[in-house]
Structure 1
Amino acid sequence: MKTPQQHPNPVIRYTLFIIGWISFVLGMIGLLLPVVPTTPFLLLSAACFLRSSPRFYVWLTEHRWWGRYIRYYLDGQGIPRRVKFLIIGMLWITILTSALLIVKIHWLSVMMICAAAVISIYIAKQPEPKLDTD
């Protein structure tokens, strides 16, 4: 895991801090709304806090619920198998529900399903941590 180091320029530091909190809030919204992704926003938040607020970076990466998964990804260890199945399962449930029951534009439904397929392949190809105790 990288060592947090504040950016020397205060304008950039405060901008990163604000972006970090906005992405964190969007990530939390993603926990409630299946259409909004959680992980990319939490990773962006961690990246912003890495250069703007060491305190919040440590808080985010050491959090009891999602800190371990952020650390796995940032350290290049990947995603635990159980989490991969959960992510891909929820992705397909929400995409198929939306594409087949809600969206009435055929080409848009096809695009949604194609995007889900690409995302599923990306997630499946991610490495798995050596010691997966989930």
Structure 2
Amino acid sequence: MTASGPVLRYLWLAAGFLSFGAGIAGIVLPLVPTTPFLILSAYCFARSSDRLHDWLVNHPRFGPPIRDWRDHRAISTRGKRLSIVAMAAVLAISFAVGVKSWIIAIQFGVLIVMGLFILTRPSPPPDAGGQ
């Protein structure tokens, strides 16, 4: 192992904890996505801590969407549905609170692109645990 090896491992570990924290925040904050941050955490932990990686990937609540993405590049039907509803809600809230029209236009464009990305991902096979 090179001299930078342990330092790099700690940087991956720190990135894993930061992205895990952001994913947990996404559970309660409507504008913060949960699953992408958890997938990033698994990626970072795979490079820094086998124990944390295995815990996250095998967690009963956090593990299934990570495994669906890792194994099939898939998003569950329930996950797609919740994502689209959350995006629509954010856009509706922006209208309701009177956000400037040019900001709503940018937001709308980004949400359309992200919605298309999400909707065009396959759903996991029935035996994979995705819904």
TM-score between both structures, scaled by the size of structure 1: 0.87
Q: Which residue of structure 2 lines up, in the alignment, with residue 84 of structure 1?
A: 80
The one of 30, 33, 37 equivalent to 1:34 is 30
Q: How much has 1:51 moved relative to structure 2?
A: 0.6
- Secondary structure of the corresponding residue to residue 8 of structure 2: helix
The one of 20, 37, 49 equivalent to 1:24 is 20
Distance 1:86 1:11, change over 3 A: same
Unaligned ranges ≥5, structure 2: none
Query: Contact 1:17–1:53 (CA<8 Å) still a contact in 2?
Result: yes
Q: How many residues align?
A: 126
Unaligned ranges ≥5, structure 1: 1-7
Distance 1:133 1:122, change over 3 A: closer
Q: Does 1:59 align with 2:59?
A: no
Q: Which residue of structure 1 lines up, in the alignment, with residue 8 of structure 2?
A: 12
Distance 1:92 1:14, change over 3 A: same
The one of 102, 111, 117 equivalent to 2:112 is 117
Distance 1:103 1:70, change over 3 A: farther
The two structures, once aligned, show a CA RMSD in angstroms of 1.6
Q: Quick one: distance in 2 between partners of 1:77 and 1:105?
A: 36
Q: Quick one: distance in 1 between partners of 2:108 and 2:101?
A: 11
Query: Contact 1:26–1:38 (CA<8 Å) still a contact in 2?
Result: yes
* % identity of equivalent residues: 36
Amino acid at match of 2:9: R
